[in-house]
Structure formats: structure tokens, C-alpha cells
Structure 1
């Protein structure tokens, strides 16, 4: 795999590359997909399916379920029952369906901001109140505020906590102790947990992702895990996500909603892509993680030695870096526009992730090193111009 190959994505209907006015001028370092080609085995599975020439209604097969079960057992030592596995075209659609079942208008849904911003619209879609259990930014990293979580969960109107594990955008991999404390609080106050574990495979050395079900068996009947091969293998366009629901009553209600919305069948290529990824592409993931760690080390060293005004929050997982730009004296849209106009870099706007993200931007480092080096030079020059002004 040539990770340094700068694959051209313009003209391919890419959300990332279509979101910028001039791809020859601006580098998109936003949107959490990767500028790397997928593993050859996934491409071969797609070609084989395409060559078959019939793209009719598709269903799931035993091999699909087995590939998921074996992956989670091998990577996380988690035993999954086939019956738990439900489908969604994406994690956010899945969360929306779950919220429709688990909440009533006016109830509280807790999030830990700064957090993946589609959570907010998902909560508002169901006329629920967004309740912030804000993460604590301390000594260059983030921690959970358990006393505040206890207080928010104890409110009789609190019905659901949406947990981001590993956390997007701050990059934390929650420890067993942290996850167990969350589970115990939610069990005590009868609050459901929807655990978004999309980035669970993209974890750096020295850290280990712990699925929520594994840290506290009691929480299985009061929680859901949302996952997918999407981030791991760069196949978000296949629109095949995994919603694990051990609670039988909730699972039946969820599956009934899929039928009501006509969402019970997967993308014709999604099943083949998932099987190929989980059965044959672990080696590709391991190579990817090595390359991403190299990119992370390069970016971290560059900021430390040449752009100390920006502090990268060292991620324990994900291919994203949360950048503290508070020393630049700009916030919100002004900060985003400065990087766009002066550095010609498009980041994800930090303020979208929550009120404590105003002085931050989110940077995607899943790209060839040459592109990353070019981007860092641009950022350096832009920051110099801020200091000059």
C-alpha cells in the first residue's frame, strides 16, 4: 500500500473535496474520511460485485454476521450474539431512530461537549432538551466531570446519555474505570446509554478501546453500541453501520422502525465491503495506524517547534486532532475564516462541537505526508501574519 500516493479526489462527488471553492488552492483538512485508497481486498470485492451486473435488493447473510462477531472478539475480546446486530445506513440515522423510541418531547438527552455536532441536531429532531455534561479541559487533555454527570442524570427528565467512545473531537480513549463510573451513574438513575464507538479501531499505541458492554455487564440491557467499518477502512460511502442492541424489547422496536421507514435493506455493495474488510483487511488497518502515528508525530513536533501558539490536543485515537488556537485571539467563525482565507486550509469549525470549542478547530491528518507538510507550512505562515498584525 502506497500511503504517500496523493490520489485525486476532485470530480468524484467527494463531500470533503466538493466543499471547497478551489481544490487547486485550498487544502481540505475537514470531514472525517481519509484520502487513502481502501485495501485491495475491498476493491476486489466491489469489482466482483459490480461485474455481476445485477444490483437488486440486498439482504444480510451468515457470513456478514460472522465477520462482525469475529472482528469484535479478536480486537476487543467481546462476545456478541448475532441477535444483537441490527442495521442502519449510518450511525446518526441509527441514533435518531433510537431517540425516537427512547425519548418523549421535553425529556433531557445528555452529551459531553465538545462533541460530534450531529448529536445536537439528532436531539433537537425529537424535541428533547440538550443537556451538557461538559468535559473538563485540564493540563492539555480532557476529563469527564462525574459530579456534574451525576447531577444531570439524577434529573427525572433525563432519559439518554449519548457517549462518544473514543471521543470525537478530543481524541480520548476512555479507561475501564471511567466507563464503569458512567455506567454505574446511568444504571442508578435509569438513563439509557447510546455509545458511539465508530472510532474504536483507530487507537494509537499505549491505549486500548473498551466496548461499553465489556466494562459492566449490567449495562448491556440499558445501552446500545453503534459502530461501523466506515472510519476504520474508509468506506463510509457504503452506508452500512452496525447497531448492537442486547435488550430484546428495544431491539424489536428498533427493527420495527426500520421497516416503517423502509430502511431494512443494506446498500448492494455494503455487505460485500463489510465482509471483505473484517475478514481480510486487519493487516491494512495495522499499516494505516503506523502511518497515522507518523503523521501525528510530525504534526505535533511541527506545532511544538515552529507554531507554539497552537496547542494540539494529543489524541489517543481517531485520525483527527483538536487544535487549541486560543492564543491567536480569534474565536468561532472568525477563526475558521482566518485559516480558510489566510492559510488556504479548511478545518472543521470548533464552535460547532459546543460552546467550549470556540477557540478550537478540528484537523484531519488522514492524508499523504506531502499534503500534510504543505498544510503545516501554510498554517505557520498564517500564524506569523497574525503575530505581525
Structure 2
């Protein structure tokens, strides 16, 4: 078994890297330690790089299509990793997960319709709704026993005849929850009763820890499968976000045709050669690398959790069930979000994500990306201790 080195530091400055090279644009300083943008600082796996290099040797990059091997890689990965039997005719393309969500909202609702979001949540969800003139209905999550869960009473109280869609983050970002079958059944029952379609962002579905199990929404029941769209990608799992190769899985044929009509209008369904090559290589050869990477990430989380308990006990860390994004409660410091971010940047010189951007419930929280070499993470924690301790 090949041993992968996740301690290796790969210099990313000077590569037009958003995470590292855009610091001055966003934060007016280059001298910052970036643990914000949700990509990893680990080297993209060799089997993906080799596949891209091999294709690049051909030296013609004309119009292309996705072969059966592409679809088989997705089908086999879903069966192997999630025990989900899907069919080729359910699979379609999206330039990215957020693009897929936006296309779905545009396809399955009309201006003025209500779309439910459940903050604090991945902040592009808000643009997917408001940016195309839909009415955003907030159904904030609630914390029970230290983790988020759905507030179903609040949800039921806000649904009306114009409520058409619910955007689900599964697993949850920024909280790192893996929704249980019981939670998903309760949520989907309400949506089925009210004829609300669910658009499920499952981009973090491969990044699951400690005996938790990701449940693809469409596996809840056949009725749910016919009432949902699943959006997935290898981008977070294998650090290939720049290749913009995502897919959507829609078991309902009519809904799939409608979605493809939307992306077809803009001729957005073709994708790019290297994105497809990367996806196929990732889902064909990625199991061993992923298992080692998950072990490394879990140790990184343990380092963060232990550090906060001993060095910064006023910070409460939400238990991590999935993702490489850790949600930390700084509310005990009594600072509003703008003041908290200003203090963080000026005194710790570390860039984390502002919890306020994730909507209701995010004030006073920060999100840290632990998908980096442990030495980098330790340096960030030391800076936080110096600033907040």
C-alpha cells in the first residue's frame, strides 16, 4: 500500500490561487495565514495528475463528450462508498455544485416562489435564491446536545402554497453534521406532504468520520427519490475544485429533462476535457488515498479540539462528523462579527471564515479549514492563542 505524505507543504503563492494570492484583495494584506477558502493545501493525488498528463500529451483539446467509463466510475463509486445503486440515465453535468443548485432553483420554481434555506449554511445558498428573484424562507437550524438539527416546527409554520423548494446541505456546512436517517425522514415527510422538491448539496459526502454514515437523500424512499435532485462532485474530496466538473443525479426523468433544458440554453452541458478525466480517475482509483487523507484530517481535528479545550477554553468547537471545515463558537468574547474579524486579522494574522456570512446563527462563530499540513494548522492555533488567550 502506497503511503501518501500529507505533511508536505506545497507552495501555492504565485499560482493565481484564490486562497493564498487573493489575500490582499480581500483583506488588504499579504502577510496572513489563510485557512479560509474551502479547498485543501494537499497535493492533488498522483493518479489524477497522471491521467491529466497522459491526456495532455495528445495535444488536441477539441470538443469532447463523456464516455461510458466516466458514467461507470460515478456509478461504481456511489455503490462502493454509499451503497447507492444509481443508473447512467439519472446523471447529468454541472459546471459546479453552486451552478447546479442555481440551475435547479431556476428550473423548478418561478420568480416570487418560496425557497427554504436552513442557516447557518454555506453562504452561496442565499445567492442561489435571491439572485434569481425567488423568495428566501429561513428555517434556522437549532443546537441540541451540541450539534445542529432541524427545527421542524419552525419549518411547518413557514410553509405556504407558494413554497416550492428546499435547499439541503447534506452533510452540513459549516456545522459538519452528518444528517441521520431519522432526521432526513422527518424532513422529507414534511416536504412530500407539501409538494416541496428538495435540492440536496452532497459535495462533502465522501468526507465522513468516526462511524457516521452519509445517507444520499434519494435512498430514503422511492417517493423521495422522485422528488429530489442530488448535486455532487469530486472537487472537495480530491482537491480539484479548479477543474469545475460536478454532476447532478436526478432519478425522475421529467425533472432531469427540465434541468438539462435549462443548462442546454446556455450550452453549459459539455464541461471540459480535464475535469472529466479527473473525475473518472478520482472515482476509479481514489479509495486508498481518501482513507489515508481522512485519517490525517481526523487527527487534525483532534489537534484543534484538544488545543481549544486546554489553551482557549472560551472557544467551543462543534463536534466534527464530516467535512474538513470546523465550526468554532467565539461568542463568549462578546464581539460582533465585524469586530471579531478585525481583531482576528490584526492580532492573530490568520484568515478564517466570518460566521456571519453563513446567516442566522452564525454571529460570533468562525470556520477554520483544517485541510492543510499539521505544521501549518499548529502555527495558526498558536497565533490564535497569542491573540485570544
Q: Normalized against structure 1, the TM-score is what?
A: 0.96
How many residues get paired? Answer: 383
CA distances 1:111-158 after superposition (whole Å, capped 9, x unpaired) = 1100000000110122111111110023422111111122223x1111
Q: 1:23, CA displacement in angstroms?
A: 8.1
Aligned to 1:387: none
1:107 to 107, 113, 116: 113
1:209 aligns with 2:209: no
- Secondary structure in 2 matching 1:161: strand
Q: 1:203, CA displacement in angstroms?
A: 0.4
1:275 to 250, 263, 280: 280
Distance 1:162 1:40 in 2: 34
Aligned to 1:151: 157
2:77 to 43, 51, 71: 71
Q: Are the equivalent residues in 2 in contact too, given 1:28–1:346 (CA < 8 A)? A: yes
1:231 aligns with 2:229: no
Q: 1:312, CA displacement in angstroms?
A: 1.0
Give matches, 1:165-314, under 5 Å.
165-314=170-319
Q: 1:57, CA displacement in angstroms?
A: 1.6
Q: Which runs of 5+ in 2 are unaligned?
A: none
Runs of 4+ that moved beyond 6 A: none
1:18 aligns with 2:21: yes
Distance 1:289 1:276 in 2: 19
Task: Note the aligned Cα RMSD (angstroms).
Answer: 1.2
Distance 1:266 1:107 in 2: 30
Q: 1:24, CA displacement in angstroms?
A: 6.5
- Secondary structure in 1 matching 2:384: helix
1:6 to 4, 9, 22: 9
Q: Are the equivalent residues in 1 in contact too, given 2:48–2:281 (CA < 8 A)? A: yes
Q: 1:282, CA displacement in angstroms?
A: 0.8
Q: Are the equivalent residues in 1 in contact too, given 2:245–2:271 (CA < 8 A)? A: yes
Q: Are the equivalent residues in 2 in contact too, given 1:310–1:324 (CA < 8 A)? A: yes
Distance 1:18 1:328 in 2: 30
1:85 aligns with 2:91: yes
Q: 1:97, CA displacement in angstroms?
A: 1.0
Distance 2:262 2:340 in 1: 41
Distance 1:104 1:39 in 2: 42
Q: Which runs of 5+ in 1 are unaligned?
A: 385-389
Q: Are the equivalent residues in 2 in contact too, given 1:10–1:23 (CA < 8 A)? A: no
